[in-house]
Amino acid sequence: MALTVLLALGSTAPPPAAAPQAAKTVVSAPVLVLPPAAPSLFAAVDPGVTVAAPRVRVALSTNRQEVPLAATAGRLRLLDGRTGAELWPDRASGPVRVVRDVAAEDRDSTLEEVRRIQVGAFRDELQAKDLGARLETELHQPAVTYWDSDRNVWRVRIGEAKEPEALKPLLAQVRESGYPDAWIVREPVRRLEGATLRLLDARWEVRAVASDRIVAVPSGGALVTVEGRPYRGLVEVRLTPYGELLAINEIAVEDYLRGVVPEELGPNLYPELEAQKAQAVAARTYAFGNLGQFTADGYDMCDTPRCQVYRGAGSEQPLSDRAIHETRGEILVWNAAPVNALFTSTCGGHTEDVELVFPEWTYPYLRGVPCGLPPQERKGRGATLVGNPVASVPGAPDPGPEPLNLGRLVAHGIVGREAYDPGWRTVPVQAGEAWSWFAALAAQAGKPVPAAVTDPPGRLALWRATAGLLGIEGSELVAPGDEALVLAVEDADLVAAEDLPLVAALFARGLAYPNAEGRLDPLGVPTRAEVLGWIARAADQYAAAPLEEAQVTAAPSSGPVKIAPRSGRREWTLAVAPDLLAEVGGAWHRVGRVDLLAGDRVLVAADDGRIKLVALRERAGSSDDRTSSKYRWTKVKERAELETSLAPVAPVGELRDLRILSRGRSGRVTAMEIIGVDGRAIVEGFRLRRALDLPETLFSMDVQRDRDGTLRRVTFRGRGWGHGVGLCQVGAFGMARRGADYREILSHYYTGVVLVKVP
């Protein structure tokens, strides 16, 4: 196959993303070998509708007993998949259900014996299905889960062959995967010879079809729907030798990808074109590399995570469509074949060499690389943002409210900047200023202006003002007669009976609470800090003085910082020095300057179209996938939990100890010794993730023991989510955010591969 080489992505040390090297480099064209695709429908049938080549046949996960078909508009033609003859042309329009012709079962079935690998048996159906799914993911072979009514168990079996010899390599893999007791079994299979289908329309009219295949053809620009889901291209429903229905979508590869890319990298969550393009190329590479994987069953690939997730035309999004279109036909090639373009959600800062995670594979292009810039290049790449100066009051106690709440009240003009001075906040409040804060809050909360407060402003007077402002007379939160119980504070009896309902209502909503001495002191004058604390809580409850979740979209070392809120499309350019906060260990602190990187998550308060407050969320590092919610995690496992998850892989009885034997270049644990009362086991690579039931194998351990040395529990602290090999999806998004194009992204995660265009 003659090819245009778009770019030799050949350097072993990927270029820094900030220095684009996307020029087209023409090298000698390799001869690309693609696997043969499953035979198309068109050999037998001319449906009169064009499905552009190259095509792919995707098995849809539908009900296996009954498949409902319809068209999004117009008439749906049904053709005999063997002869091309139109079936039931005089049928009233509307949906049709395809079912098996019942009579066929008794008439034409034969019993046949096959060999399968028995892996496990379970009382619980979910457990069995879960194991089946895991086996499929790890071993890339179809697994079968079925109910054995003789023994009352769910059996999980994998593989199928006529002769046991053919299953030996797979059996070795299964045993290696932690199922040492797996064995090869004989299984009788009922095959249907010459069975046929029948059709039911919406009015329950029935039509027998003298064929085991039908092809659904839409008219005009309409699409076929299967179980209500629309699909481009054509849909075939065929009867398998086991008497089940199989719906297959025959579709142009480029259209297929439109239903894959948004499922794998959601454009709403990851709205960067270049990251979408990288995902599109990876998905297309997978598709071409796996053509014909299930030819024996009449299709190329499945629509589940075992292959890649495909949900038809209903998933399509403009941004992913554009990414697919702009990379039309492009795939990654190594050694004349499509690469095994593995991708992982969040690599946790560094990907890993493939053979350390999946020992059965040795692809030289799947090397561990830093996710983002190499550590030595990470410093000084962002913007330094200098904010308003932080008041320095040596030794002054901080009387609250906590800095983020104070910051938002200042940013929205409810209280002046003097409130940042802790000394100022410890002073008893004055009636006038308290009233002005209430009035500003009322304006932003859409509530009436409160009545004036007279000096001295005792707590009860302020609570009455708050209740008046918020329209609280009593509260459904406290039943009449229960007020004194709600106010379980020693001096609550100082509150007069007529004030009890409103004070209890404020307590129930957290808008009033005991003072620093643990008392109500209803006639005492509160500090400014105490009143601002109530105001901050009320602002929360009425969505006034809001903080918005946002992300830094540009942070050049010289030039303006740009920030975009999650909610909308507008983007702010930072013009004036804002107040700055930084999150450290889960708490907020006011700071004078912060270093920002594109992609950082922030909270902002904007007033009059200007950002007045920037609060930098705890930054997990500088890697490109740091914004993932799975970038860092902590999992606590009691011993019993560990014993349960370890049992199938390392059956060592009561757990005594876990020992890390080796780590890969990313820091991933690549081998661990499991020590129990009944023995020891060594677990390696990706299997370790399942054995410990963790999001990733990039972790450290923190072991706790009882006094007698018994293992009590283990805390795992780690980074990442997935297997850590190949393209890091959130990392690709981060690279795109800081300006990398899709070729740089692909060459970064796949070492030494070539990008080519399939004609």
Q: Catalog residues that contact Zn ion under the rule CB under 5 A.
A: 347, 371, 625, 728, 731
Q: What is the DSSP letter of 430?
A: -
Residue 407 exposed, middle or buried by CB count within 10 Å (0-12, 13-18, 19+): buried
Q: Minimal distance in Å, beta carbon 626 to Zn ion?
A: 9
213 or 277: whose CB is closer to Zn ion? 277
Task: Provide the strand spans (E) within 123-219.
Answer: 143-148, 153-161, 183-192, 197-201, 206-209, 213-218
Of the candidates 385, 436, 392, 400, the residue with the CA atom closest to the CA atom of residue 611 = 385
* Cβ neighbour number for residue 482 with a 10 Å cutoff: 14
Number of H helices, E strands in the chain: 19, 37
Q: Minimal distance in Å, beta carbon 634 to Zn ion?
A: 19
Of the candidates 656, 659, 653, 654, the residue with the CA atom closest to the CA atom of residue 671 = 659
**Residues whose CB is less than 8 angstroms from the CB of residue 39 and which lie 6 or more positions away in sequence, other chains included:** 295, 298
Q: Minimal distance in Å, beta carbon 370 to Zn ion?
A: 9
Q: Minimal distance in Å, beta carbon 371 to Zn ion?
A: 3
Distance CA 604, CA 571 (A): 12
Q: Minimal distance in Å, beta carbon 172 to Zn ion?
A: 33
The b-or-e profile of 688-721 (16+ CB within 10 A means b, else e) is bbbbbebbbbbbebeeeeeeeeebebbebebbbb
725 or 754: whose CB is closer to Zn ion? 725
Tokens of 431: 């009636």
Quote the distance between the C-alpha of residue 625 and its chain's center. 13
264 or 300: whose CB is closer to Zn ion? 264
Q: Minimal distance in Å, beta carbon 332 to Zn ion?
A: 18
136 or 625: whose CB is closer to Zn ion? 625
Q: Do residues 754 and 746 touch, judged by C-beta distance below 8 A?
A: no
Residues shown for the chain: 759
Distance CA 37, CA 45 (A): 17
Q: Minimal distance in Å, beta carbon 359 to Zn ion?
A: 22
59 or 347: whose CB is closer to Zn ion? 347
Q: Minimal distance in Å, beta carbon 346 to Zn ion?
A: 6
372 or 403: whose CB is closer to Zn ion? 372
2 or 13: whose CB is closer to Zn ion? 13
343 or 588: whose CB is closer to Zn ion? 343
Tokens of 359: 């020992």
285 or 627: whose CB is closer to Zn ion? 627
Q: Minimal distance in Å, beta carbon 472 to Zn ion?
A: 50
475 or 622: whose CB is closer to Zn ion? 622
Strand, coil or helix: 706 = coil
Residue 155 exposed, middle or buried by CB count within 10 Å (0-12, 13-18, 19+): buried
Residue 542 vs residues 472, 507, 537, 587: alpha-carbon distances, Å: 14, 16, 9, 23
Distance CA 240, CA 226 (A): 18
Distance CA 551, CA 599 (A): 6
Q: Minimal distance in Å, beta carbon 344 to Zn ion?
A: 8
